Structure 1
């Protein structure tokens, strides 16, 4: 059964938190798909994955590259599982329409974005009725995670 995780950030950059979760998925040998709102945002994340660290990078491809099926990490604006992903990340508040296509769906959002926060709270209530496993985490003022289920 698909697990759906919600991470409500307070003190952490969405982009840097995404990187940490992608690294965890790589350590589990899971293919990842990062669903983005538009091509400009996709290019921002593309650049970030190549340059976030002076000594390493995260190999990945995007919808503008050939052979998505050969990419362990794939950036796209379309909800198509072209790289046989186990996990999908949504960082721009995009609703994942077919959560059952993945083992795990992860929403990462900032508490200050009230529109996205409200939309995801409403979405949580809907998907809970379909029997998906939901887990919610919220940062406290010190950056520690509080389970909010």
Structure 2
């Protein structure tokens, strides 16, 4: 069954938190799909993931680009799994694809965006009724993730 983890960003912006989460996904041998509804955000993330750290980069591509099926990380708006991703990262409010195709879904939302928080809460309520295995992670004051009960 798909695990659904909610990540509530309190001290770190999405651009700073996402590369670490993606690195952990790749370390497990999984592929990732980053779902966003905003073209500008996807382009910004596309650029950022190539240069977020001097000594590293995350191989990735846009789902609209050639060889999308070969990418360990795919960024897009459709939720399609051209790269056979095992993990879905939802980073903007919007309709979620069929989650049963994934081993894990991370719903990442920023604490400073009331609309995104409201959307995440609605997703929690809806997904809870579908008996998914769910967890809620929140950043502490130091930016470390803590699993909340």
TM category, shorter: over 0.9
- Aligned pairs for 1:10-21 (under 5 A) are 10-21=10-21
Asked whether the equivalents of residues 35 and 94 of structure 1 are also in contact (C-alpha less than 8 Å), the reply is no
TM, length-normalised to structure 2: 0.93
- Mapping for residues 48-63 of structure 1, pairs under 5 Å: 48-63=48-63
Q: Encode CA deviations 1:49-79: one digit per residue, 9 max, x unaligned.
A: 1111112211111123112211111111111
Compare 43-52 and 96-105 and name the one that shifted more.
96-105
Give yes or no for contact 1:93–1:107 (8 Å, CA) kept in 2.
Answer: no
SS at match of 2:40: helix
Counterpart position of 1:68: 68
5+ residue gaps, structure 2:
none
| Residue of structure 1 equivalent to 2:2 | 2
| CA–CA distance in structure 1, aligned partners of residues 146 and 55 of structure 2 | 32
Report the Cα distance in structure 2 between the residues aligned to 1:111 and 1:56, rounded to whole angstroms: 28
Q: What is the deviation of 1:34?
A: 0.5
Residue 10 of structure 1, CA deviation: 0.9
TM-superposed deviation, 1:93: 2.5
TM-score of the superposed pair, with normalisation by structure 1: 0.93
Secondary structure in structure 1 of the residue aligned to 2:33: strand
4+ runs of 1 displaced by more than 3 Å? none
Q: Deviations over 1:89-142 (max 9, x none)?
A: 011233423111211000111111111111111211111111110100112333
Give the total of aligned pairs. Answer: 149
The superposition leaves residues 3-55 of structure 1 with CA deviations (integer Å, 9 ceiling, x where unpaired) of: 00101111112112110011011111101000111222111001001111112
What SS does the corresponding residue of 2:25 show, helix, strand or coil?
helix
Q: Is 1:124 aligned with 2:121?
A: no
Give unpaired runs (5+ residues) of structure 1. none
